[in-house]
């Protein structure tokens, strides 16, 4: 029987151990896709340290979404603090054992995905790779459930449109999609 406090279930070490056992693998996979593999263990530990420190803030039933959101902030902070890595210490190529990375190596998929805006890319990755749907997706995106459902539907539609678009000399412009990243140059359409 779970003990409860006036604000909900008791957030003791037993609760935390259950949280860790249930979600550590998913959080690690989330982190390793967005940061260097060498940093993934430390960053995942930092996410769970934050979860312990702020355990009363973790919403009941949306623990994984809260952990993903916290991981996103942790990774962003890590990237801001990172020092440039000398070229001679860079690996020759990435780790190709992850099925997700194998899929992204397919040039056609990458080309279609690259035509999407950063928001559409984020939404599709959260849904496809992290398995977030409905309320969990809405929580991570900080929008309503209906807004998350609509955003996912639009992102999927834009990806389908990009996939079906004939090959062009330059990147296609998907109507309604914001550019993923600015490269400093602009292209004109006729």
- Residue after which a domain boundary falls, among 35, 52, 82: 82
Q: Three-state SS for 13?
A: helix
Residue 1 covered by a domain: no
Q: Note whether 60 and 112 are same-domain residues.
A: no
**Cβ distance 65 to 132 under 8 Å?**
yes
Q: Note whether 72 and 50 are same-domain residues.
A: yes
Instruction: Please list the pLDDT of the chain residue by residue as tens digits (190 residues).
Output: 444 445 566 889 999 999 999 999 999 999 998 888 899 999 999 999 999 999 999 999 999 999 999 998 898 888 887 656 555 555 555 555 555 555 555 667 778 888 889 899 888 888 888 888 888 888 888 899 999 999 999 999 998 898 887 655 445 545 555 444 333 334 443 3
Q: Note whether 20 and 62 are same-domain residues.
A: yes
Residue 186 covered by a domain: no
Residue 175 covered by a domain: no
Helices and strands: H and E segment counts in the chain: 8, 2
pTM above 0.75, yes or no: no
Q: Note whether 108 and 60 are same-domain residues.
A: no
Give bridge partners of residue 5 from the DSSP assignment. Answer: 8
Residue 132 covered by a domain: yes
Distance CA 186, CA 170 (A): 11
Torsion of CA 148, 152, 154, 159, to 10 degrees: 160
Read off the pLDDT of residues 72-125 as tens digits, 9 standing for 90 and up.
889 888 888 765 655 555 555 555 555 555 555 566 777 888 888 989 988 888
Q: Note whether 20 and 78 are same-domain residues.
A: yes
Residue 91 covered by a domain: no
Q: Note whether 46 and 16 are same-domain residues.
A: yes
Lookup: tokens for 50 = 């934050």
Distance CA 75, CA 83 (A): 14
Q: Note whether 76 and 139 are same-domain residues.
A: no
Q: Which of 141, 139, 148 is nearest to 58 (CA)?
A: 139
The whole domain housing 44 covers 9-82
Q: Note whether 138 and 106 are same-domain residues.
A: yes
Residue 64 covered by a domain: yes
Domain count, the chain: 2
Residue 180 covered by a domain: no
Residue 152 covered by a domain: yes
CATH code of 107's domain: 1.20.140.160
């Amino acid at each position: 029987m779970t003990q409860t406090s006036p604000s909900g279930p008791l957030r003791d070490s037993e609760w935390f151990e259950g949280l860790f056992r249930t979600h550590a693998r998913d959080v690690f996979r989330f982190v390793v896709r967005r940061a260097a593999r060498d940093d993934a263990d430390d960053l995942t530990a930092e996410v769970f340290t934050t979860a312990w420190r702020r355990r009363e803030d973790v919403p009941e039933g949306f623990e994984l979404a809260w952990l993903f959101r916290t991981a996103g902030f942790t990774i962003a902070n890590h990237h801001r603090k990172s020092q440039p890595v000398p070229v001679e210490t860079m690996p020759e190529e990435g780790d190709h054992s992850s099925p997700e990375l194998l899929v992204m190596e397919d040039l056609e998929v990458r080309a279609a995905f690259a035509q999407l805006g950063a928001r559409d890319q984020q939404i599709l990755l959260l849904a496809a790779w992290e398995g977030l749907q409905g309320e969990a997706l809405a929580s991570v995106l900080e929008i309503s459930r209906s807004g998350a459902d609509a955003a996912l539907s639009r992102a999927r539609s834009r990806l389908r449109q990009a996939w079906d678009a004939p090959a062009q000399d330059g990147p296609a412009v998907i109507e309604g999609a914001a550019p993923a990243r600015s490269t400093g140059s602009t292209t004109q359409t006729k």
